[in-house]
Structure 1
Amino acid sequence: MMSVAERRALAAAEIHERTGIDEAMIDRLVRAFYARVRQDGMLGPIFAARIEDWEPHLQRMCAFWSSVALSTGRYQGQPVGKHVPLPVDGEHFDRWLALFEEVAAEICPPAAASHFVERARRIAESLELSVAASHGVLLGKGERFSWPVAEKTS
């Protein structure tokens, strides 16, 4: 019987063989994506208000995407808990996805970009559902979370 570590290594090898994704590609993607986020008019201020030292955040995000894209188990955090208190709604998740998809298409070969984007879409949907639920909003299929206009501008 294989250990968890052996199963993870086998999964990572299979994904790498199929997509070309490795830790170096994840590092390039994460760094390019967050460089774009930091300059974005919608997302940049949210991050700037919360992150002073970017390197630890980038390292966490590399571990996160290693876990998500390669099944390595490197990330041990709780992304829902980090996102629930943020002033974000469906528009923010759409922007995050648009930037992520742009960068993935620029940085990665098509099979890798598709692999990353498929997971990013599921992550964005899950986080949006969690943020909405934390504000007492239960989204139905196809519904999006949106702050009232007064709360968006304050």
Structure 2
Amino acid sequence: MEVVGTSRQGTSSTNGDALIAIEGLVKSIREKLDKLSCPSTKCCIYKVPKKLKKINEEAYTPLRVSIRPLHHGKEGLEDMEEHKLRYFNDFMQRSGKILEELVKIMEEMEKGIRNCYAETINFESDKFLEIILVDAAFIVEFLLRYRFPWLKTPNDRIFWKP
């Protein structure tokens, strides 16, 4: 292939096939650039880097409870999901909010919450909001019970073991 000239805009050639290849490459790169998302300034939740996780896998893998979408549904953590729902129910009663109100609040916040994650969360909106809502209420309820022991219920399997 004989190169006739070069410029910042590309290379021209006496060979028509080379021009087609360059146009295809340019198109492919442009498509990828167009799909790039701008990292949110609110991004603050990251996956543990693989190299760091390889050093001590157990240190970065939940054993009892999964908080946030990353480990949701993993084997061995299912039992706690029911307990998180109990905490969520107690949280709703304590807050005086009805489920529809809380879901509406979460719907309005969904985009902002998703922007906090460095990686794309592949859950549908309904499942994502359910995970975030139940987990957030669980954390708040847990902290309240830890700080104010009289809030603990007799059937609480976190603070009172059977």
The TM-score, its normalising length taken from structure 2, stands at 0.29
The TM-score, its normalising length taken from structure 1, stands at 0.30
> Whose Rg is larger?
2
> Which has the bigger relative contact order, CA under 8 A and spacing at least 6?
1
Structure having the larger proportion of residues in strand:
2
Structure having the larger proportion of residues in helix:
1
